[in-house]
Structure 1
Amino acid sequence: MTTFLLVIIYLAFISLGLPDSLLGVTWPVMQSDYGAPLETAGLLFMTIAGGTIISSLASGKILKRFGTGNVTFVSCLMTAGALLGFHFAPSVVWLIVCAIPLGLGAGSVDTGLNNYVATHYKAHHMSWLHCFWGVGATFGPIIMAQFISEQHSWRNGYLAISGIQFTLTVILLFTLPLWNRVKKSSDINLHEELGDSKGVFHHEDAKHVKPLQIKGVKLALISFLFYCGVESTVGLWGSSFLVNVKELPVAAAAQWVSLYYAGITIGRFITGFITFKMSNRTLIRMGQIIALTGATFLFLPLPSTFSLVGFIMIGLGLAPIFPCMLHETPARFGKKHSQTIMGYQMAVAYTGSTFMPPLLGFIASHSTIGIFPFCLVVFVAAMLLSSEKLNTLLTKKEVFKRKDTSSTAF
């Protein structure tokens, strides 16, 4: 039963990744059909991201009231309906209208499933979960490209992916009773996997403490902000840097950036096995150091080949960071607040991916895209520093709790 529900959650994450990369692939054709200006894609992207941020922030209360299974079902129904709306949309205005439920649905699913897996399953499942998101994000453009090349219809591509989402929605509807059963019968020993289920920063008057007032939460949010800033910045501007600074052909630059995404997806698959031997905290630190080394390769005046190595290293380094940070949430801050804090983390993560790449683009347009590797080094270093400061707080609190426990025993 637990395994079957896990399969459903994996499928849900594939479906979560499917629409994420569609707009960028489809927009050149959509722009021609609608006669819209180029920057309209940015408006649509911001609308989707805005809905995702809002639903992530509100997800704590919504999930506590309705449960993860119900929210996942309704959210998938919203995203399926939104994608169907893209198929029928007669104008750009209707695309913007459909972008709202697409973003709102994605945020709730992402937050709810991340917290559910962090609370009820072991760490390797979190890494594989986000690996499956990569599978969806990879196959979305492939499906769309097939429809555009064979039928010359991006609308049918959206219809097909909407059909996949509706299929998952039906599956979720019939498996709703499983969620509560698995929650009650979960055989995960949280004291082994998460430490004290109250969290490292729990104290007796926690009922009166707001999630953002818990020590260490703001440092965790900073880590998420810069992580997603790095991940999306490399994806958006990596090719431009290679073409304009390293003077690579456009096709070669695109292939090199695809290897960066392959590094993230394959790295997360491998990380799932490594979690059996290493803690989340160690994997996060190692990933950040590898990503910083890769960014440094881009920053230094080295031959172009080192840029390829740098992109792959950044991808492999980023691979364990996001899923491991998510899985650490209940251990750091306790199960009581983990759902709300997870929502805050996802909202800040989406904020980083939404605003940091355009910020770099704005600065680069007034200077040079050559600042790309410098910004990456700064972003990764900021993520590493905030993460290590949080680790220091965790270590001090753990030592204090052990001393307090030993003194109570006497």
Structure 2
Amino acid sequence: MSKKVTLSTLVVLNFIIYISLGLPDSILGSAWPSMRQSYEMGASQVSYLTTIMLLFSFFSSMLYTKIAKYLTVAQVILTSMLCVIIGLILMIITSNPIVLFLATPFMGIGQGAIDVTVNHFAAKHLPSSLMSLLHGFYGVGVSMSAAILTFFLSTFSSWRFAIGAIALLEILILLLIFVYRRHFAERDDSQESTSHKTNAETNQKFKLSYLINPIFYFFYAIEAVMGIFLATYYVENFQVNNAQAAFFTTLFWLGLMVGRFVTGALTRFMQDKTIIYSHLGLLLLMSITLFLPPGLYTMGTVFLLGLAMSPLYPLMMMLPNQMYPELIAQRVISYNVGFCMLGILVFPLLFSALFKILSFSIFPTLILMLTVILSVLVVLIFKQVKK
């Protein structure tokens, strides 16, 4: 009985932690049209902030294996959440761009290590059937923060109140995890288990052809690009008001979240390949609608854009285990994550430069190009699966 209670508690706590992971992720995308006015910064300068954040997130993820030797899972989670809260507070206390740039390393450090920690812990302690739901609850967090931003922008015309409310939610989750920290009292011992591999296992050759999966994840930066630039595109190109543009971003993240839960159900009745191809077709169609001026239908199209992307990340991540030997598959999966982060670093910078030169009107063209590239890569990957 106590084991059942402990498992139920772990499940709920992990869901809540994943919500907290998603809470900060839509802030810059949804609030930037308003924030940049307070900070007197350009529309495209958001990419510099996201780049700094992602770099620090990458570094904290890479350092996790060293940190885990000295800290318990609970200590890593609590320290990471504290860093995020500090970053959020720094965002709202001043209109000085320097302070805003100082906030981003705290956000990055906080979001990097906790992501790796929770994924390792959940994989070790929770049934595989619940793992896909965790990503859905991450979407709940992103959608919640986008909705909070939309509410405060439309009601009080204040992005500071919105980020303050998100910071308060993070503080409450931090206190909850602190109360239940005994459930996360262990250290991550995965490093010990990997030290027993034989030389034959560790020296398996890695072919360049295996990089096709990571290359797909490099171009999957389309999700981050949509989250960062969608609201600004509608403001700059169609003069939509800030609250409405933030609402469009909210609907995009909502579609992504709903789609993740729906995907979990669809996998019981449909093949992964069918789900992926059908959603890529929908993504191609919805990408074209971005060329159209906004109207009532835009609420549906941006929601469907998120829905169309929802199965791509989790289902494509499962393919290496079907395509390669175990050790190669593990390596490919680790490259998938690294290439995805690299794409999220490169494309916002590249697109910001293009927007500065050519204007935001090219945004739909760029999204359509990324969608076509993803579709071609998926076809090539499934050809390898057949072999």
Question: Equivalent residues in 2 for 1:267-346 (5 A)?
Answer: 267-295=259-287, 311-326=302-317, 344-346=335-337
Does the CA contact (< 8 Å) of 1:295 and 1:377 recur in 2? Answer: yes
How many angstroms apart in 2 are the aligned matches of 1:319 and 1:231?
A: 9
Change (3 A) 1:271 1:385: same
Change (3 A) 1:103 1:347: farther
Cα-to-partner distance string for 1:189-217 (whole Å, 9 max, x where unaligned):
xxxxxxxxx9xxx998222359xx36765
Secondary structure in 2 matching 1:81: helix
Cross-structure match for 1:5: 10
**1:16 positional shift:** 1.2
Matched, 1:221 2:226: no
Cross-structure match for 1:17: 22
Q: 1:377 aligns with which of 360, 368, 384?
A: 368
How many angstroms apart in 2 are the aligned matches of 1:364 and 1:40?
A: 11
Does the CA contact (< 8 Å) of 1:52 and 1:106 recur in 2? Answer: yes
Change (3 A) 1:286 1:26: closer
Change (3 A) 1:12 1:365: same
Change (3 A) 1:31 1:318: closer
Q: What is the number of residues matched between the two proteins?
A: 375
How many angstroms apart in 2 are the aligned matches of 1:308 and 1:35?
A: 29
Does the CA contact (< 8 Å) of 1:298 and 1:306 recur in 2? Answer: no
How many angstroms apart in 2 are the aligned matches of 1:94 and 1:101?
A: 11
Instruction: Give the counterpart letter for 1:291 in structure 2.
Output: L
Change (3 A) 1:113 1:33: same
Change (3 A) 1:80 1:268: same
**1:73 positional shift:** 3.4
How many angstroms apart in 2 are the aligned matches of 1:136 and 1:59?
A: 23
Change (3 A) 1:24 1:321: closer
**1:43 positional shift:** 3.4
Cross-structure match for 1:406: none
Cross-structure match for 2:83: 78
TM-score normalized by structure 2?
A: 0.74
Q: 2:130 aligns with which of 125, 130, 149?
A: 125
TM-score normalized by structure 1?
A: 0.70
How many angstroms apart in 2 are the aligned matches of 1:165 and 1:326?
A: 29
Does the CA contact (< 8 Å) of 1:14 and 1:134 recur in 2? Answer: yes
**1:141 positional shift:** 4.2
Q: 1:348 aligns with which of 339, 346, 351?
A: 339
Change (3 A) 1:252 1:43: closer
Change (3 A) 1:297 1:12: same
Change (3 A) 1:61 1:317: farther
How many angstroms apart in 2 are the aligned matches of 1:296 and 1:305?
A: 16
Instruction: Give the counterpart letter for 2:97 in structure 1.
Output: V
**1:15 positional shift:** 0.9
Instruction: Give the counterpart letter for 1:225 in structure 2.
Output: F
Identity of aligned residues (%): 24
**1:47 positional shift:** 1.8
How many angstroms apart in 2 are the aligned matches of 1:155 and 1:306?
A: 30
Cross-structure match for 1:405: none
Cross-structure match for 2:200: 205
Cα-to-partner distance string for 1:150-199 (whole Å, 9 max, x where unaligned):
88875565444334323323433454553588x99xxxxxxxxxxxxx9x
Cross-structure match for 2:224: 232
Instruction: Give the counterpart letter for 1:284 in structure 2.
Output: I
How many angstroms apart in 2 are the aligned matches of 1:52 and 1:166?
A: 20
How many angstroms apart in 2 are the aligned matches of 1:388 and 1:231?
A: 19
What's the Cα RMSD here?
A: 4.5
Listed as ranges, the gaps of 5+ residues in structure 1 are 185-197, 397-410
Does the CA contact (< 8 Å) of 2:216 and 2:374 recur in 1? Answer: yes
Change (3 A) 1:332 1:124: farther
